[in-house]
Amino acid sequence: MSHASDAAATPDRPGKKRNPVWAAIREVLIIVVVALVISLVVKTFFFRAFYIPSGSMEQTLQVNDRIFANLLAPGPFDLSRGDVVVFRDEEGWLPPIAPTATNPVTEFFTFVGLVPDPSNQHLIKRIIGMPGDTVECCSDNGKLTVNGVEITEPYIYPGDNPSDTEFTATVPEGKVWVMGDHRGASADSRFHEDLQGGFVDLAAVEGRAAVISWPLDRLGGIPGGDGVFAQVPAPAN
């Protein structure tokens, strides 16, 4: 009994020799293309890299940390009070940035989403008020209140007050009120009330900060506000 594979080995039908060099090159090309496709899908739909340039989120995030943000929130995964989010600077909170020098290697890694894009202006803060919430500072005990309930914030930078400025803000529909964890070094919603009340459009939120990817000794998840807002009631209609 013969098999189809035997025909290639018969003297009458000599087999076509495979070029090992071309085979190796082809395999590498296939791997590179597949990796690019996966990276683009991840970058577009799942995660994106960002760089932390300031100390406004200390000590949750440190200067020069690299993080990945989950792009599925907002979206399939809803945002909540206490989430650390990355959002586009659509209201001009930041000064213009000067062009930075690049090279083909950094441009490639930026393209596939493995390193941050230095040409885009983004900020990272913690959501304190969701649409409909009333955020106020400070209570008689020196704490923030959300919908009339005091909250204790363990993520605040050691020695900082919840806020050194008094404010009352009711968050409109489609927006959030955000604050940095290093309250004494964060130009957040409190300091931009001249720009749409200091509120951030939910549509400007790129995603929820999920993982610190660099440096390696800080590798790990980024904590939200678990338990901090547990007793806060839904906003009154």
CA distances from 35 to 32, 49, 72, 178 (A): 5, 17, 21, 36
Region of residue 177 (phi > 0: left; psi between -120 and 50: alpha; otherwise: beta): beta
Q: Which residues does the annotation mark as catalytic?
A: 56, 125
- Which helix or strand (DSSP H or E) is residue 127 part of? strand 122-129
* Closest C-alpha to 217, from 64, 55, 49, 5: 64
Under a CB-based contact definition with an 8 Å cutoff, are residues 202 and 75 in contact?
Answer: no
Specify the 3-state DSSP secondary structure of 220: strand
- Which helix or strand (DSSP H or E) is residue 31 part of? helix 20-45
CA distances from 207 to 1, 35, 121 (A): 63, 23, 14
The CA distance from 200 to 73, in Å, is 15
Structure letter (DSSP) for residue 61: S
